[in-house]
Structure 1
Amino acid sequence: MYKLDKHQIVFPDPAHYHPREGLLAYGGDLSAERIKLAYENGIFPWYNPGEEILWWCPDPRFVLYPEELRISKSMRKILRDEVFSFTENHCFRKVLENCMQIERPGQDGTWLNEDLIETFTQLHREGMANSIEVWQYGNLVGGLYGIQVGNVFCGESMFSHVSNASKAGFIHFVNKYRDTLELIDCQIHSEHLESLGARMIPKSDYLNILKRNNEF
């Protein structure tokens, strides 16, 4: 496994480096410059608090093509009845804090921490990180956030305090940007996103899409 130097902002080329289970490197730091470089190259941090920072680029990659979004009849009714309302970048940090604090079945904690929140907030100020907020009766009940790389949106995390809130937010986001987004990176498989149309593609295909987007 490749060890990163805290004083040098570089990563091994994931196109030519094929680690087991997608674990590419460890170490380094969580500076905005490094995080930005990571996402531009198909790499993301994912680790437990107190551990070394771990950097991943799995093969295959779990993604959603916007035109392949699947919406169930029940979700269509929820959207049609305007059960929720949506905003964008209205309270970015609150979305991240909720993602960090939400209890997730089968998980002891969250990979998201205060250091990452600070870095993502800086990238939000620079226009690279964005959030979708889901509201009900004036309360923030769900949301999601991610990193934008050209026409690729790298989804990071979502939360929901009431049933279907985060799913509605995700569908709203995909529908709003389906004509401008080429791909949504979901990173790692989940049944929740598979039910919405996400699927696996080869890492090489994902990296080629990113490379094309980085050229603009």
Structure 2
Amino acid sequence: MPIEPAPTQWHLDLGQAKTGEDLVGVGADLEPGTLLAAYRSGIFPMGLGLRGGGTLGWWSPDPRGILRPRDVRVSRSLRKSHARFDFSVDSAFDQVVAACAAPDRDGRWITPEIARAYAELHRLGWAHSVETWRDGELVGGLYGVAIGGLFAGESMFHRATDASKAALVHLVSLVSDTHGLIDVQWRTEHLASLGITEVRRTAYLELLSQALTEPLPSAFAGQPR
């Protein structure tokens, strides 16, 4: 089971957040206890500067993009693609993060500091990756943070058509034995066809509260590294 880190020194909550505003705070740090406190409060980090650099921002989108496992939609073409891939969990975490942070990606925001912070969360058993393989080659994947029935997705990548979508479909199969919640932060057209919906922050926090009481899916309950 995951190792609980030392508690954060920061007070993280959404008591002063305004309806419709996504950015809810700045500063603090990326210590494991801070990150976990943020996710448990409905908040996640992303830098405010170019390509995620500069001052650290803390975000709670309103509305919030989510996927309930029971709502996933898999098209016929994606089902065919999914059958051609192989999948694993936590076998290439650093590679997945590096691919998500690749310099040639539009909108990239994962800095070396972010990568190191999530590597430490992975070592403690909180951050996880889902890998998509074809003929032994890593062609897609995603990573995020699992707390109880919450999987807070951080980023995904693909090097083959449908490889990232297939990773998300596989993730759904891993959490379907819980009344879980997959947080995708913002709804995008790339993901909308899979059943991602938007909810107001107040509704998200209610769903989050329930998800945190659910058991951790067995796929993410292995020994910390």
Task: Return the TM-score normalized by structure 2.
Answer: 0.84
Matches of 2:212 and 2:114, distance apart in 1? 23
4+ residue segments displaced more than 3 Å: 102-105, 212-216
Matches of 1:42 and 1:61, distance apart in 2? 10
Residue 54 of structure 1: how far off its partner (Å): 0.6
Matches of 1:145 and 1:23, distance apart in 2? 22
Moved more, 175-184 or 139-148: 175-184
Residue 91 of structure 1: how far off its partner (Å): 1.2
Compared with structure 1, are the counterparts of its residues 64 and 20 closer, same or farther at alpha carbon in structure 2 (3 Å cutoff)? closer
User: Deviation string for 1:76-112 (max 9, x for gaps)?
Assistant: 1223xx311000000111110110006334x3xx211
- The CA RMSD over aligned residues, in Å, is 1.8
Task: Return the match for 2:54 from 43, 51, 54.
Answer: 51
Matches of 1:215 and 1:180, distance apart in 2? 10
Q: Which residue number in structure 1 is paired with residue 32 of structure 2?
A: 32
Residue 20 of structure 1: how far off its partner (Å): 5.2
Q: Which residue number in structure 2 is paired with residue 66 of structure 1?
A: 69
User: Deviation string for 1:103-146 (max 9, x for gaps)?
Assistant: 334x3xx2111111111111112211110011111111111011
Kept in 2, the 8 Å contact 1:15–1:207? The answer is no
Q: Which residue number in structure 1 is paired with residue 23 of structure 2?
A: 23
User: Deviation string for 1:4-62 (max 9, x for gaps)?
Assistant: xxx93222x21552165311001111111111111111101122343210101111111
Q: Which residue number in structure 1 is paired with residue 87 of structure 2?
A: 86
Kept in 1, the 8 Å contact 2:90–2:129? The answer is yes
Look up the SS of the partner of 1:148 in the other structure: strand
Kept in 2, the 8 Å contact 1:15–1:204? The answer is no
Matches of 2:45 and 2:19, distance apart in 1? 15
Kept in 2, the 8 Å contact 1:9–1:33? The answer is no
Residue 215 of structure 1: how far off its partner (Å): 5.0
Identity, in percent, stands at 38
User: Deviation string for 1:126-179 (max 9, x for gaps)?
Assistant: 211110011111111111011112101101100111111111111111123222
Structure 2 counterparts to residues 1-216 of structure 1, below 5 A: 8-11=9-12, 13-18=13-18, 21-47=21-47, 48=49, 49-79=52-82, 82-101=83-102, 103-105=104-106, 107=107, 110-215=108-213
Look up the SS of the partner of 2:65 in the other structure: strand
Aligned residues: 204
Kept in 1, the 8 Å contact 2:181–2:208? The answer is no
Matches of 1:50 and 1:151, distance apart in 2? 31
Matches of 2:130 and 2:180, distance apart in 1? 18
Matches of 1:66 and 1:167, distance apart in 2? 14
Residue 181 of structure 1: how far off its partner (Å): 4.7
Gaps of 5+ in 1: 1-6
Compared with structure 1, are the counterparts of its residues 207 and 163 closer, same or farther at alpha carbon in structure 2 (3 Å cutoff)? same
